[in-house]
Amino acid sequence: MTTHYTLVHFTDYQNFDSIQEMDATVRQFNARISKPHYETLNVLKQHSCKVIGVSHLKVATIANAVGRSTRAIHRHLKYLADNGFITVANTSRKKSGGKGANIYIINRIDQQKAIQKKHVSYRKASHRNTVKTAVKRQQQQAFAYIKVKKQTMYSLKLLNSLFSSTGRKYKRMRKKMKLTRIDNIKNATFANRIVPEGIYHQFIPFFSDAQLTALYKTAVNRLATFDLDAIQQNDAITYGLESLVKALRRYHRGEGEPVYNLYAYLNRTLLHIGFNGEFYDDVYAYTNAADFRTAMA
C-alpha cells in the first residue's frame, strides 16, 4: 500500500507521456552540458521509467553509480537544477520524521528554457544592484574625503596661526610633527585587498606584492572558463603557484630551464589543472599531454 501511494504521489510531478519523449529530451540536454553533468542526469533518467521522468534517489546512490564523491554529485545536481534541466523536490520520512531522499523531476525543454531565462534575469538584476551599491559607496568615500580635506586645511591654518604667535617653540613643534609624518610614511604598510590572505602569506616570500597580485588575477581569469567551485578554484591557484615556484627553484639550483614569463607559465599550468578539476573532479589529477590534447579537441 505504501509503494502504491508513493507512485500516485510521484505522478503529480510527471512531465512526459512516454519514455521515448523523455529520452529525446535528455539527449538534447546531454549535448549542452559537460560529461560529469550528463552522467548524473543519465542516472536520474535510468531510474525514471516507472514514473516517467521522476526518480527518488539518495545522493550516495547516484555517486556510486557514476563513481564520484557525494560532494561532486551535490554540485552536479545544483548545476542541473539552477540551469533548469531538473527540478528537485524534498521529501520527509512519515514515521521517523526528517528529510528523506529527494525527488528529481526531469523538465521538458520549454520548462528548462523558462527557468534558465529567469535565472539569467536574476543574475542581471543582481549585477545591477551590485553596481549601484559600488557607486553609492564611492560617492560616500568621495564626500568623506572632501570632509577630511576641509578639516585638514582648517587644522593647518590653525597651526600656522599658533606657530606665528608663539615663536620658535611652535616652529620646533611643527618641524617635529613633520618629521613624525615622514617617518610614518616611510614605514607605511597596507593589506593586499585582492589576493586572499592564505595565498598571500604563503607566496609573498617569493614575489613582490605587485607580482603576486598580477599572478593571482592571471590565475582567476584562466580558471573562469572551467566549472569549479570556490574551494576547487582556491586549491587550483595554490597548486599552480606552487608549480611556478618549483620551476624557479629548479632553475636557480642549476637543475632546469629559466622561466622567461611568470604569467605565461602560470596560465599554461592552470589550463591543465582547471581541466583536471572539471573533468576528473580533482585538480591534482595527472593528465599526460596526449590525453589532454585529445580531450580538449
**pLDDT digits 0-9 by tens, 25-50:** 989 989 888 989 989 999 998 888 78
Give residue for cell 576528473.
Answer: 280
Q: What is the pLDDT, as a whole number, of residue 163?
A: 61
What are the domain boundaries of the chain?
2-107, 123-186, 197-296
Q: Which helix (H) or strand (E) holds 102?
A: strand 102-106
Q: Which helix (H) or strand (E) holds 103?
A: strand 102-106
Q: What is the pLDDT, as a whole number, of residue 265?
A: 94
Percent of the chain with pLDDT over 70: 81
Q: What is the pLDDT, as a whole number, of residue 202?
A: 93
Q: What is the pLDDT, as a whole number, of residue 223?
A: 92
Each residue's pLDDT tens digit, 124-143 = 666 666 667 776 777 777 67
50, 45, 43: which is closest to 4 by C-alpha? 50
Each residue's pLDDT tens digit, 91-120 = 655 444 445 678 899 999 898 888 878 776
Please identify, in words, the CATH class of the domain defined by 2-107.
mainly alpha
What are the phi and psi torsion angles at 6 (to 5°)?
A: -65, -45
259, 267, 251: which is closest to 215 by C-alpha? 267
Q: What is the pLDDT, as a whole number, of residue 120?
A: 67
* Helix, strand, coil share (%) of the chain residues, nearest 5: 70, 5, 25
- Sign of the CA dihedral with 162 first, then 167, 170, and 172 last: positive
Give residue for cell 598571500.
Answer: 200
Low pLDDT (below 50) residues in the chain: 1-8, 94-98
Mean pLDDT of the chain: 82
Cα–chain-centroid distance for residue 7? Answer: 39
Q: Tell me if 274 sits within 8 A of 226, measured CB to CB.
A: yes
